[in-house]
Structure 1
Amino acid sequence: MYICGIIFLKYFRHNQLFYLYVIGGLFAFICLIIFNNIITQYDNYQYMIKSWNYGASGAVYAIMFAITSFNPNYSFKIFNINFLVKIKYITIIIVILPIIFDFKNLHSHVTHLGGGFYGLLYIYLYKIRSKNMFNKIINIFKSHFLSKKKKNKSIESDYEYNARKKSDEKKINIILDKISKSGYSSLSKKEKDTLSNYK
């Protein structure tokens, strides 16, 4: 848990770690209770106390799955060995080995996987919230930029429009003078097009 917690705090706050641990443990415990109700019946109070211990281990799995889901390629050294190991491989080993060597301990597996599932769900919801927040920020800046650009473009268009009209009027006056002196047939094709397109 210590290693997973340290890695988790590289990207998240302490209160997020606390809530993930507590709610992850409760979620794992609930998964165990549901499993008991489906598979078998336990009314022993001592077993219920033991179930809380299972919930605590499920909380650790919630943190481990969360950080693995968030950054699966995060690498670190184990026992000061000069070799980096990615956290996703460590998580896979930690999940698979207990199932292989202690398959009959279904309660532990259900609790661990229940906590792990909550860790995955936590990161999934976190990414959705972050993406929505990011999109909102982008949309705010985009709308502000576009409105400002549109305003500038409108002012600039008026200026360009007036300048173009003056230039066109000057060209038309020159063409009209040429017609009055030499007739319409003396105009070039370009001048005729300019005259016909003038509005």
Structure 2
Amino acid sequence: MGLWDDLKMQYRMGGITQRLIFWNIGVFLVSLIFYEFRLGTFIFPDWLALSSDPLVLAIHPWTLLTYAFLHSGFLHLLFNMLVLNYAGMLFLTFFKEKQLVGLYILSAIFSGIIFCGAYFLMGRVSIIVGASAAIMAILVAATTYSPHMPIRLLLIGRVQLWHMTAVILIIDLMQLMIENTGGHISHLAGAFFGFTYIKLLQTGTDLSKIVTGTVDGVLRMFKPSQPKPFKKVHRNYNTQPRSTTASKTAVKDKKQQQIDEILDKISRSGYDSLTQQEKDFLFNAGK
């Protein structure tokens, strides 16, 4: 199985967090066609990046979402994807994958609006890219739901989840007016949205259904209607020996059991823990 097949299998089996990472990497690679490279930073046009200029935003409203899949450089992308992988793992300990997608999209839009509003009030114009605000929302949501969850940090050891999140928020507040003001504003807006999302969820309001409901509705619009099959009565003449049928059923059950064992191994240790033979078997079984 080649590298491309391996990537497709990881995308299919890796879960929604890994798919978001794939989307971010894919969009970044495609967007390189439209960038300018200055002083080690990728400068994206204002029809992709989010601009705080109200006129530009009115012409390009989709940038309220597209900016959350763009990054200003390879290191920016790498750091954000590492944090997204960690925050997504924490969030999915308690919630569903659809809720993660909904939170990512809604928090990105909310943070973009807050960024534009803040810069408009300050009389400044700037652009912003990056998934940081949406990632912050996911991290803060997990922290709000389970603040005392124990985690282990490299070189520090065992701490509670809220300790790490509090340090990140304090750093954002300290640097708010020093550098990358727009970025820190969006981070704090994302944190606020993540906190609000959990508090509303605990009262029975799931904001992520706005996204999932919209997506499901669009998919239903483009899904071709299936004609109802004619009812027909027929008699089943089974000329196949019972022993042959039972043998095929046993082979099918054994194959399904092997698939289930591999999927359990992925859920426990991740896709990378599979042997090459197991990867090939799972890939061929999915065809």
Q: Verify same fold: TM over 0.5.
A: yes
2:123 corresponds in structure 1 to: 40
Q: One-letter code of the match for 1:94?
A: I
| 1:97 matches 2:174 | no
What SS does the corresponding residue of 1:12 show, helix, strand or coil? coil
Structure 1, unaligned stretches of length 5 or more?
A: 131-199
Structure 2, unaligned stretches of length 5 or more?
A: 1-83, 206-287
* CA distance in structure 2 between the aligned counterparts of 1:13 and 1:121, rounded to whole angstroms: 17
Q: One-letter code of the match for 1:75?
A: P
| 1:87 matches 2:164 | no
| 1:60 matches 2:135 | yes
1:26 corresponds in structure 2 to: 109
1:72 corresponds in structure 2 to: 147
- Cα displacement (A) at 1:101: 5.0
* CA distance in structure 2 between the aligned counterparts of 1:103 and 1:34, rounded to whole angstroms: 16
* CA distance in structure 1 between the aligned counterparts of 2:111 and 2:175, rounded to whole angstroms: 21
* CA distance in structure 1 between the aligned counterparts of 2:176 and 2:201, rounded to whole angstroms: 33
Q: Do the aligned partners of residues 92 and 82 (structure 1) sit closer, same or farther apart at CA in structure 2, a change above 3 Å counting?
A: closer
Q: One-letter code of the match for 1:89?
A: H
Which structure has the bigger radius of gyration? 1
Q: One-letter code of the match for 1:23?
A: L
- Residues matched between the structures, number: 121
* CA distance in structure 1 between the aligned counterparts of 2:151 and 2:161, rounded to whole angstroms: 8
Runs of 4+ in 1 over 6 A off after TM superposition: none
- Cα displacement (A) at 1:83: 3.3
What SS does the corresponding residue of 1:129 show, helix, strand or coil? coil
2:194 corresponds in structure 1 to: 119
More helix by share: 1
Query: How does the TM-score come out when normalised to structure 1?
Result: 0.56
1:12-32 deviation digits (Å, cap 9, x = unpaired): 011111111111111111110
Query: How does the TM-score come out when normalised to structure 2?
Result: 0.40
Identity %: 26
In the TM superposition, what are the counterparts of 1:160-171 in structure 2 within 5 Å?
Answer: none
What SS does the corresponding residue of 1:41 show, helix, strand or coil? coil
Q: One-letter code of the match for 2:96?
A: R
